[in-house]
């Protein structure tokens, strides 16, 4: 299994005039909105979320195949690239399997109403095949064992995902409920939200993420959904052993 970080950024991290991080020559300080691509041993690609820059991330990472999409939740920074799946539809002729909780699927039907309304044939609409999933209900896609897990994004219940026994992607989280903890303990790699240095209502800030990491004890943690608070090299030098910032284009073999 391979994990590629397509985006490690947040919406409030858009380039800011005069910000040293945003104008840094280090490409690891350039952050698209958050998503990851998980590649199975047969080359199948499962994407978590479709952020606004999904197309750019696919071009930069030479992604030529997409087999399924999993959604964490329906905020704009996680869904607004969905229309671009039409590229894969053209190539395969297959409607893209899209997995999410029922409320997120309802949001997709509403926000992307044109996809689901019958219209003139031709003109090119994305073809998606919506499928319900829920926390604690495992699924297997192309040999990848996937466990959706409940986490809370402020008051909003959303999904994190565990892939196999050793890796989990936990973005947009401010509370990990008790039933989810055992599934996140002792991982080889944890990707975890750490939106900024100051406390935040709906995300872990850096200290909250570090407290959680100390309890979960993964071998390695990549922090994601990052604002321009963080210069890559400077921040990594401050972080405890085994904890680092993720960066766009980073690839991990698991
Ligand atoms: Zn969100
Ligand atoms: Zn987000």
In the predicted model, what is the mean pLDDT of the chain?
95
Strand stretches in the chain, DSSP E? 2-7, 35-39, 45-48, 68-70, 96-100, 128-132, 139-141, 144-153, 156-163, 167-170, 189-193, 220-224, 243-245, 251-253
Query: Which of the four pLDDT bands, split at 50, 70 and 90, describes residue 19?
Result: confident
Query: How far apart, in whole angstroms, are the C-alpha atoms of residue 222 and residue 25?
Result: 21
Q: List all residues 6 or more positions away from 71 whose beta carbon is below 8 Å from its beta carbon.
A: 48, 49, 50, 78, 79, 98, 99, 100, 101, 104, 108, 159
- Unique residue bearing structure tokens 């690891």: 28
Query: How far apart, in whole angstroms, are the C-alpha atoms of residue 175 and residue 186?
Result: 18
Query: How far apart, in whole angstroms, are the C-alpha atoms of residue 143 and residue 140?
Result: 6
73 alpha carbon – ligand 1 mean position (Å): 7
- State mean pLDDT over 226-231: 92
203 alpha carbon – ligand 2 mean position (Å): 9
Query: Which of the four pLDDT bands, split at 50, 70 and 90, describes residue 180?
Result: very high
46 alpha carbon – ligand 2 mean position (Å): 19
Interval 98-128: pLDDT, tens:
999 999 999 999 999 999 998 877 778 999 9
State the pLDDT at residue 62: 97
State the pLDDT at residue 206: 98
Q: Pick the ligand that lies closest to the CA of residue 77.
A: 2
Phi, psi (degrees; rounded to nearest 5) at 171: -110, 165
CA angle 181, 182, 186 (to 5 degrees): 100
Is-contact 71 79, C-beta < 8 A? Answer: yes
77 alpha carbon – ligand 1 mean position (Å): 7
153 alpha carbon – ligand 2 mean position (Å): 9
- State mean pLDDT over 154-173: 98
Interval 192-216: pLDDT, tens:
999 999 999 999 999 999 999 999 9
Burial of 107 (0-12, 13-18, 19+ CB in 10 A): middle
219 alpha carbon – ligand 1 mean position (Å): 26
6 alpha carbon – ligand 1 mean position (Å): 17
- State mean pLDDT over 17-34: 85
153 alpha carbon – ligand 1 mean position (Å): 7
Interval 39-88: pLDDT, tens:
999 999 999 999 999 999 999 999 999 999 999 999 999 999 999 999 99
State the pLDDT at residue 67: 97
For a pLDDT cut of 90, what percent of the chain falls above it?
Answer: 89
How many other β-carbons are positioned within 10 Å of the β-carbon of residue 90?
10
Is-contact 222 232, C-beta < 8 A? Answer: no
Is pLDDT at 13 greater than 70 in this prediction?
no
Q: Pick the ligand that lies closest to the CA of residue 51.
A: 2
**SS3 state at 248:** coil
Is pLDDT at 89 greater than 80 in this prediction?
yes
* DSSP class of 63: -
9 alpha carbon – ligand 2 mean position (Å): 9
**In Å, how far are 74, 106, 157, 213 from 112, measured between CA atoms?**
11, 10, 22, 37
122 alpha carbon – ligand 1 mean position (Å): 34
159 alpha carbon – ligand 1 mean position (Å): 11
77 alpha carbon – ligand 2 mean position (Å): 5
């Amino acid at each position: 299994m391979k994990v590629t970080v397509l985006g490690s950024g947040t919406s409030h991290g858009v380039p800011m005039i005069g910000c040293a991080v945003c104008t840094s020559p280090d490409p690891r300080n350039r952050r698209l909105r958050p998503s990851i691509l998980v590649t199975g041993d047969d080359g199948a690609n499962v994407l978590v979320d479709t952020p606004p820059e999904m197309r750019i991330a696919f071009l930069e990472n030479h992604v030529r195949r997409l087999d399924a999409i999993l959604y964490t939740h329906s905020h704009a920074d996680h869904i607004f690239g969905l229309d671009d799946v039409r590229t894969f539809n053209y190539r395969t002729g297959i409607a893209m399997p899209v997995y999410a909780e029922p409320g997120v699927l309802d949001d997709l039907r509403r926000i992307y109403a044109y996809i689901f309304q019958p219209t003139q044939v031709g003109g090119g609409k994305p073809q998606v095949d919506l499928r319900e999933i829920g926390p604690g209900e495992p699924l297997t896609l192309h040999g990848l064992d996937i466990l959706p897990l409940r986490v809370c994004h402020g008051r909003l219940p959303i999904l994190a995902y565990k892939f196999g026994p050793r890796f989990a992607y936990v973005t947009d989280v401010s509370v990990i409920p008790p039933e989810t903890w055992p599934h996140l303990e002792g991982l080889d790699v944890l990707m975890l939200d750490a939106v900024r240095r100051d406390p935040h209502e709906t995300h872990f800030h850096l200290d909250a993420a570090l407290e959680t990491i100390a309890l979960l004890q993964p071998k390695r943690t990549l922090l994601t959904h990052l604002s321009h608070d963080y210069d890559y090299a400077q921040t990594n030098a401050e972080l405890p052993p085994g904890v680092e910032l993720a960066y766009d284009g980073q690839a991990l073999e698991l």
